[in-house]
């Protein structure tokens, strides 16, 4: 019998990345979330995290979903989909409501979040997330969950994440054409955070740096709350392209060399080391140091950009416990060590962890977003039992627009 993957005990995450699309199927059991399977497919229709070719993206989504279907035997119709790209921006907002000296209810929390949402957002942008970052009850701040407390005035600080309407619509359109119903669109590093961070890190203060193929996404947490989001339009593909140009080889060979022999700094190769380049059926040898001389400046450039971003958002005050690098780009040999030196903070690589059972192959930073989307889905489903608006996705509204525009 074909089982139905729906919103209850089975959740499917769809990570539409610049280099690969993956479908992660998770089930909530008594022990926790089990990941049943991951279907992957090469992605060719995105640039820097944004859909630029609908047809090829739809094809890749279908392939990734079909693989997951055949591995699990589940019918997959609904997904939580990830989004990224340089168009994503975040800003803080604030709302306040009266609670008339009674116990604060879930409805009051919905109302205060609603009032914090009442800010001007340009017509070409859509609100993706309104994330509470702290409640204040009668002047007392630092309240995590005001429900059940007694007070007169409830205030909420929120972080609002927005994206370009066209990019969001194109992503929804691809999912729709691939026969999928999108339950929610999630900014990718928020999903990754669910899979790789510990509660202690979120509490103490931490920065996630998700280095994908096309973008590097940065988010910061402190006191358990989200503090900042940003996206840099540079990722692992830029390293590969530099290698292809520098060594005059095809991109596929440059990618192989980067993964097999690449390192973040030239000091990581000895003078005598040589690597073999395969080009048009011929082999030639070059010193490994030549490869690292191309990679090192890109690494330094990326780390400098990350440092500037941290400096611009008080990131060094926020990320007291250090940084967690994830995404495929974090697998570059020695990157964590160089990052510690340049950024001056402890760095660890984030693998998907917060799951009970999974295949070994999923234990890879490239799956942090996909696994995180599943975990995000389960958390949202349980929160929605209490809150109507605060955890409601934007998708219902957007889907209507997609139908209108692409009719």
Q: Which residues bind Mg ion (CB under 5 A)?
A: 17, 212, 369
User: For ligand ATP, how many residues bind (rule: CB under 6 A)?
Assistant: 24
Q: Does 163 participate in binding ligand ATP (rule CB under 6 A)?
A: no
Tokens of 83: 């989004």
Q: Does 13 participate in binding ligand ATP (rule CB under 6 A)?
A: no
Measure the CA–CA gap between 340 and 219, rounded to whole angstroms: 18
* Beta-carbon contacts of residue 251 (< 8 Å; ≥ 6 apart): 240, 241, 244
* Nearer to ligand ATP (CB atom), residue 257 or residue 313: 257
Q: Does 262 participate in binding ligand ATP (rule CB under 6 A)?
A: yes
Measure the CA–CA gap between 384 and 20, rounded to whole angstroms: 31
Q: Shortest distance, CB of residue 228 to ligand ATP, whole angstroms?
A: 19
Q: Does 263 participate in binding ligand ATP (rule CB under 6 A)?
A: no
Residue from 212, 315, 352, 377 binding ligand ATP (CB under 6 A) = 212
> Residue 376: CA atoms inside 13 Å, Cβ hemisphere, count?
35
Q: Does 189 participate in binding ligand ATP (rule CB under 6 A)?
A: no
Stretch of residues binding ligand ATP (CB under 6 A), selected from 18-26, 100-108, 118-126, 148-156: 18-26
Instruction: Report what 258 binds from Mg ion, ligand ATP, none; CB cut-off 5-8 Å by kind.
Output: ligand ATP
Q: Does 240 participate in binding ligand ATP (rule CB under 6 A)?
A: yes
Q: Shortest distance, CB of residue 383 to ligand ATP, whole angstroms?
A: 26
Q: Does 259 participate in binding ligand ATP (rule CB under 6 A)?
A: yes
CA distances from 87 to 127, 167, 229, 234, 384 (A): 12, 8, 12, 13, 28
Instruction: Report what 205 binds from Mg ion, ligand ATP, none; CB cut-off 5-8 Å by kind.
Output: none
Task: Describe the crossing of helices 165-177 and 54-72 by its angle, rounded to 10 degrees.
Answer: 50
Q: Does 215 participate in binding ligand ATP (rule CB under 6 A)?
A: yes
Residue from 39, 90, 163, 236 binding ligand ATP (CB under 6 A) = 236
Stretch of residues binding ligand ATP (CB under 6 A), selected from 25-33, 141-149, 258-266, 309-317: 258-266
DSSP letters, 102-158, are SB--HHHHHHHHHHHH-S---TTEEEEEEEEEEEEETTEEEES--TT-B-SEEEEEE
Measure the CA–CA gap between 177 and 191, rounded to whole angstroms: 24
Cβ atoms 48, 215 nearer than 8 A:
yes
Q: Shortest distance, CB of residue 327 to Mg ion, whole angstroms?
A: 5
Q: Does 332 participate in binding ligand ATP (rule CB under 6 A)?
A: yes
Binding residues vs ligand ATP (CB under 6 A): 17-20, 49, 84, 212-215, 235-237, 240, 255, 258-259, 262, 327-329, 331-332, 366
């Amino acid at each position: 019998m074909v089982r139905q993957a729906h919103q209850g005990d089975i959740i499917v995450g769809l990570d539409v990345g610049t280099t690969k699309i993956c479908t992660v199927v998770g089930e909530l059991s008594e022990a926790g979330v089990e990941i049943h399977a991951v279907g992957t497919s090469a992605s060719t229709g995105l640039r820097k995290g944004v859909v630029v070719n609908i047809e090829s993206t739809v094809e890749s989504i279908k392939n990734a979903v079909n693989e997951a279907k055949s591995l699990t035997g589940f019918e997959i119709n609904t997904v939580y989909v990830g989004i990224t790209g340089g168009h994503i921006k975040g800003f803080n907002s604030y709302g306040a409501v009266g609670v008339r000296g009674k116990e604060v209810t879930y409805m009051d929390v919905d109302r205060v979040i609603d009032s914090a949402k009442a800010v001007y957002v340009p017509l070409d942008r859509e609100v993706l997330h309104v994330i509470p970052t702290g409640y204040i009850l009668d002047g007392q701040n630092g309240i995590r969950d005001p429900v059940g407390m007694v007070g007169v005035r409830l205030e909420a600080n929120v972080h609002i994440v927005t994206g370009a309407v066209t990019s969001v619509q194109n992503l929804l359109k691809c999912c729709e054409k691939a026969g999928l119903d999108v339950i929610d669109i999630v900014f990718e590093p928020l999903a990754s955070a669910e899979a790789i961070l510990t509660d202690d890190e979120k509490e103490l203060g931490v920065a996630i740096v998700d280095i994908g193929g096309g973008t590097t996404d940065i988010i910061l947490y402190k006191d358990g709350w989200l503090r900042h989001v940003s996206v840099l339009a540079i990722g692992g593909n830029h390293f590969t392209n530099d290698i292809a140009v520098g060594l005059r080889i095809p991109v596929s060979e440059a990618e192989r060399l980067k993964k097999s022999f690449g390192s973040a700094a030239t000091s990581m190769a000895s003078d005598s080391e040589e690597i073999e380049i395969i080009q048009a059926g011929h082999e030639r040898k070059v010193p490994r140091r030549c490869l690292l001389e191309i990679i090192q400046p890109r690494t330094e450039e990326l780390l400098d950009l990350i440092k500037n971003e941290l400096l611009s958002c008080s990131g060094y005050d926020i990320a007291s416990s250090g940084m967690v690098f994830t995404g495929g780009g974090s697998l570059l040999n020695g990157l964590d060590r160089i990052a510690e030196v340049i950024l001056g903070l402890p760095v660890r690589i984030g693998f998907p962890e917060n799951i009970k059972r999974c295949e070994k192959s999923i234990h890879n930073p490239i799956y942090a977003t996909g696994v995180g989307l599943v975990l995000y889905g389960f958390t949202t489903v349980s929160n929605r039992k209490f809150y109507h608006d605060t955890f409601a996705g934007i998708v219902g509204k957007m889907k209507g627009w997609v139908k209108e525009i692409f009719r």
